[in-house]
Structure 1
């Protein structure tokens, strides 16, 4: 392990920890920024105040006649008294006076020695290892210089900045306690939701309570409840499917057992052939039932799986008719396309192929030999209508809603079936936002099944 990775600070994923650290950093940065602003402001104010006093002191010491050392000292002390009463204080001031010929005639009581400056007004001078602020003024008989060490001003500004920062430093722990209390209280509903979800059993998909949740967390819990609802619906559908499948498989398996026993008891060749044919037909029915169950299970599992893409329903209809042409010919049913408009919809090609195949297969199955089963695709008012009609017995009007239930078959139906074909068709149609309706064919007299899709926008 490298030293960099060893000493790298550990990143916390706790929302409470991140909020506390960021707020602490924000408070600290704000305090430092305020101290910096206070220091600069205080330094600027100190420069203005001291420059003003230096200027006033120099003007008060200026005289039209030369001053002796004692006179200059008396005037300086009087000025010092006035400045002291104003609260500024100037023990750090250095005053020098020069004669016109450059001879120093006065120097205040200070160890600082400053060079004579020819620059009048304000200037900065480096001397004695520091920087002085100097104000010079000249009259006919003398030149007066008043100087002050800039460190005095910096110290005063620093003290003022510390006084500003002091209360903030005292209040920071209190602020952090308040922030910790507010953040913890705000996150309590999140902890409550977590405990609710953690304490649930695997089959408990009831909604999570949204009471007291903040606006930022409530949408997440709402989406979680919607997910629970979808999972519950899928779970219940799966339980119903398994129960129905177990029930429906029990009958053909029992029939196969009886047919196998009949085959075992057959004592003649004719009886054995009859038993074998019945057993084969039973196996075919059981195989078809299992295939339909598997198709239904795959369609329910793929409800959100495959991506939708443009599908040409007319081309899909032609392919479906070609797939079932052999089955229809073997039964003596005329199957074909009666009308085909170009119609492109958004959907899953495999699922739509299963839908059309089941519709046509049902039409062929329930149409007697010599009958007709036609499929048509029409584009009308922004929708694609796929209609499969036959010349079979049809479905009574009172039965047309129930035939969409799983494993339901119309009483008295002669054709073998599992009762899952229309249930599969309805599931696929609903997943594609299509409308499925059953009626009576006005042209052929049998059943007419119509699926209405929304056309793809060009």
Structure 2
């Protein structure tokens, strides 16, 4: 409203200034014409020897002076001192007694006629004309402001209603905002806000479900730890104590692994990727294989890195390391004797394949194992786990614009995991950097 009032006031000032300039120009034209008519009439009358015509020149605030050709003053009306004798023929502007005069000098047969007028007269007339133009606007300005205030108030009343509604909501109320009767300009904003509320509701629902699932999953390991501690206290001899301590240590390791995966999943769900970095995916694969080789050797599994093309992707290194660590841990946990990792370029994407010779996953279960805390029956019987590894890997893949799929491994007979990520440069070379046997040897040595 302040801006509109200032804009309307500025428009009135501009219009008044424009009207003043226009009126002043018109007044100059009119008065110059009248001065010219008076001067010509005087010249003609004096040439015929007739008396000087006096009359309207007084009402027009005109000053008339007549000079002889020899410089003798012949006549003047009431006004200031004599105008300059050396007059410029035609129109000119002179300064006399602190005032500015518009002077017209006309040369007759035996005399010089001068007609002058104070420019303040013209300015007063122009001001009066401009004020007559601006006055209605100045009188209408308060009415216009009141009218605009009323229109805006009625138009923005639904916005005030939405504001009051949101101010009274409790933090958990994420219902969509009622957009009826809102101004057309505000409706897109409200639609986007409602979509944001819907996404927040989904995030809160997922968080609540995660907390409920996590509480359920942590109940069993904690209860097992309590029982193992009681068994340790009741152990009668050194052999029983050693066995109880070993079982307690294994239980602590499983609980720590579960908590670590829960925290990793929570971070992956709540945190955005941020600014992606250019990463050498082949280097991450080698690093992950070297880190996992110790665990694979301990379990008697032959973990190798086959063809590994030099490929670059955009993403977060920590998230991709966590993905590789989780899928390699699964292959080591469920594989019997061998697991192979390879990286190639295919169709403008980086294709990472991990195969093992384990029991695999039934086709009907391959989609469900990506759910949190879900474990296929074959996996549940063979090894302990929390059912979060593949869920975390899938979240990371989706956050990087990729996909994760499970299939049957025709080469090793177990599970084949395929990770696809978009490449930064599809024209990168595909020359393998290491052979499977040499990488296997390096991994075992590590």
Give the TM bin, normalised by the shorter chain. 0.7 to 0.9
2:301 aligned with 1:330, yes or no? no
Matches of 2:299 and 2:391, distance apart in 1: 25
Match of 1:61 among 32, 42, 53: 42
Matches of 1:231 and 1:64, distance apart in 2: 98
- How many residues align structurally? 423
Residue by residue, what CA displacement relative to the aligned partner does 1:362-391 show, whole Å, maximum 9, x if unpaired? 1111123xx101111111110111111101
Matches of 1:119 and 1:283, distance apart in 2: 114
Match of 2:344 among 362, 378, 381: 378
Aligned to 1:76: 54
SS of 1:386 mapped into structure 2: strand
Matches of 1:21 and 1:398, distance apart in 2: 68
Equivalent positions of 1:155-304 (< 5 A) are 155-302=124-271, 304=272
Aligned to 2:99: 130
Matches of 1:91 and 1:276, distance apart in 2: 122
Aligned to 1:395: 361
Query: What residue ranges of structure 2 are gaps of 5+ in the alignment?
Result: 427-446
Aligned to 2:4: 23
Match of 2:318 among 339, 342, 350: 350
TM-score, reference length from structure 2: 0.87
Does 1 or 2 have the higher relative contact order (CA < 8 Å, sep 6+)? 2
Matches of 1:211 and 1:161, distance apart in 2: 48
Match of 2:407 among 439, 445, 448: 439
Residue by residue, what CA displacement relative to the aligned partner does 1:245-277 show, whole Å, maximum 9, x if unpaired? 111111122222333333444445544444333
SS of 1:95 mapped into structure 2: strand
Match of 1:316 among 268, 276, 284: 284
Offset at residue 216 of structure 1 (A): 4.2
SS of 2:353 mapped into structure 1: strand
2:373 aligned with 1:407, yes or no? yes
- Which of 197-206 and 404-413 deviates more? 404-413
SS of 2:115 mapped into structure 1: strand
Residue by residue, what CA displacement relative to the aligned partner does 1:271-303 show, whole Å, maximum 9, x if unpaired? 44443333333233222222222222222233x
Matches of 2:347 and 2:398, distance apart in 1: 20
Query: What residue ranges of structure 1 are gaps of 5+ in the alignment?
Result: 1-19, 84-88
* Structure 2 contact 273–399 (Cα < 8 Å) conserved: no
* Structure 2 contact 341–352 (Cα < 8 Å) conserved: yes
Offset at residue 101 of structure 1 (A): 4.0
Matches of 1:182 and 1:364, distance apart in 2: 72
**1:270–1:170 distance in 2 versus 1, CA, 3 Å:** same
TM-score, reference length from structure 1: 0.85
